[in-house]
Amino acid sequence: MFSISRLLQLDPPPDILPHLMKITGAEAFRNRDVDRVQGLRALDPYTVEIRLTEPHMPFLTALGMYQTSILPQKPCRIHPLDLPDIRWEPGRSGL
């Protein structure tokens, strides 16, 4: 969750910061009160869970912007055709 965490601490802040601040624990992380964002969790190498403090539909648009691409902290080489399918599962708990 390095890429989203990094955006939360940029100065000057990115334009999408108000949307990212809806992530649980984002404010405490931005203020450097904690060392990780409570609402960000990698479930496995291909699945992330993002918990928001409240429903915020524009968050999905913000998540689709190039700045919020979810990348590992260590550089990697991935061919675009090797990426897993991304699915929206509206019936899943927590969404």
Q: What is the dihedral of CA 13, 17, 20, 23, to 10 degrees?
A: 80
17 close to 7: Cβ distance less than 8 angstroms: yes
Task: Parse the chain into domains and list their residue ranges.
Answer: 2-65
Query: Residue 94 has which token pair?
Result: 């927590």
pLDDT per residue rounded down to tens, the chain (95 residues) = 788 998 999 999 999 999 999 999 999 999 999 999 999 998 988 889 999 999 999 999 999 898 888 877 776 555 555 555 556 666 665 54
* pTM for the predicted model, two decimal places: 0.74
